[in-house]
Amino acid sequence: MQSESDIVESLIRSAGRRVEPPEDAYGHVFTVAHEAFRKKTSKHRERMWILWAGAAAVLVFAIALMARWTPPVAQQEELARIARVAGEVEIATGDIWRPLAEARARLTPGIKIRTQADGRVALTLAGGESLRLAGGTEVMLDAPGRLYVPGGTIYVDSGARPSGSHLEVVTAVATARDVGTQFEVAVTGAALRLRVREGLVALDHGGESFRGQAGEQIAIDGKGGISRASIAPHDTAWQWAEAIAPMPDMDGKPAADLISWVARETGRKLAYESPLVEQRATAVILHGDIRNLSPMAALEAMLATTDLAVELNGDTMEIRARSNAPTGP
């Protein structure tokens, strides 16, 4: 007769390792269960909001009666503005989607935006960050500094944002927090891919925190496995985000401003052929509308009217004087 402890050991040994479910089942069930979770929590939040709103309304009414004062209608904080749209883009405040062009909606907390396969959209968030959605992407603007991505690919450029604030990109797989940077998050079911183009991104996943640095790609597969790879800041993979970049107003500005902006948007180092060429770029004033062009096309179009030319050499964008052109300011 074996002891109780021996029986435990022998049973576990003879039974062997527990069977793991197939990976595709994990991903499929996760996606459906996560949708149920989203619906449940939004209903729960709505119910809680109604309760709180009811209580608050009673309180405000009582105070208003006491003070003989009528409260102004509350305005929800605007979280973003549409900066540029291409293709089919829709917007929803609940479950009813409408074309963005018809919506004329204020982008307030809880609003959802999605792009069809041919659609791209760029938003400017209230914190100054540029948020861009690739085709087949959905995003919900949750709160100031936080957005939720159920699926698809987004690009964030927080370069223009005031220091001190951090944007949180929440997904079902992990949460990415930027630390002054340009980065892309792609979510497909239970898998996530983070690409960092500039700066640093913190990624919280399964109770652990990872750091993604410029030029790094971190992938989390459907089973939670993590792998790292490299991606150059000027890789062609970033081109979709460049194509929808909202063009700053360059009319009346020095060519040097456009050149710096294009270098950053295309992830390249900027080099001038000589100090004289750099002075020239500062002296040349731009005129015209380049809003619907990609950064590089806009730069080439603008420089065509000057005595400056652009040349790409690996990771560097070089500005040179055109042959036989004067380079003095």
Partner 1 sequence: MTDPSNPVMAELVHVDRALAHRILGGDEEAFRELFDRFFPRLYRFARARLPGDPDAAKDIVQQTFCQAIERLDTYRGEAALYTWFCQICRNAVADYYRRSGGSQGRVELLEDQPNARSILESLAAPAADEPETGVLREQVHRIVEATLDALPGNYGTALEWKYIDGLSVREIAVRLDIGAKAAESLLTRAREAFREAIAGMI
Residue 3 within binding range of partner 1, rule CB under 8 A: no
Q: What span, in angstroms and rounded, lies between the C-alpha atoms of 117 and 99? A: 14
198 three-class SS: strand
Of 16-24, 53-61, 84-92, 233-241, the window that binds partner 1 (rule: CB under 8 A) is 16-24
Which residues are bridge partners to 182 per DSSP?
157, 198
| Window 28 to 67, contacts with partner 1 (CB under 8 A) | 28-30, 32-34, 36-37, 40-42, 44-45
Contact with partner 1 (CB under 8 A) among 107, 147, 172, 201: 172
**Any alpha helices (H) in 104-250, and if so which ranges?**
239-243
Of the pair 37, 69, the CB lying nearest partner 1 is at 37
Residue 244 within binding range of partner 1, rule CB under 8 A: no
Smallest distance from the beta carbon of 263 to partner 1, in angstroms?
36
Residue 76 within binding range of partner 1, rule CB under 8 A: no
Q: Are 114 and 97 in contact (CB under 8 A)?
A: yes
Concatenate the DSSP letters of all residues of 173-236 into one string.
Answer: S-EEEESS-EEEEEEETTEEEEEEEESEEEEEETTEEEEEETTEEEEE-TTS-EEEEE--TT-G
Contact with partner 1 (CB under 8 A) among 170, 191, 317, 319: 170
CA distances from 240 to 86, 122, 295, 317 (A): 11, 11, 11, 19
Smallest distance from the beta carbon of 52 to partner 1, in angstroms?
14
Of the pair 11, 229, the CB lying nearest partner 1 is at 11
Q: What span, in angstroms and rounded, lies between the C-alpha atoms of 282 and 251? A: 14
Q: What span, in angstroms and rounded, lies between the C-alpha atoms of 274 and 280? A: 10
Of 19-27, 58-66, 100-108, 256-264, the window that binds partner 1 (rule: CB under 8 A) is 19-27
Of the pair 168, 318, the CB lying nearest partner 1 is at 168
Q: Are 101 and 119 in contact (CB under 8 A)?
A: no
Q: Rule CB under 8 A: which residues touch partner 1?
A: 1-2, 4-22, 25-26, 28-30, 32-34, 36-37, 40-42, 44-45, 170-173, 175, 204, 206-207, 224
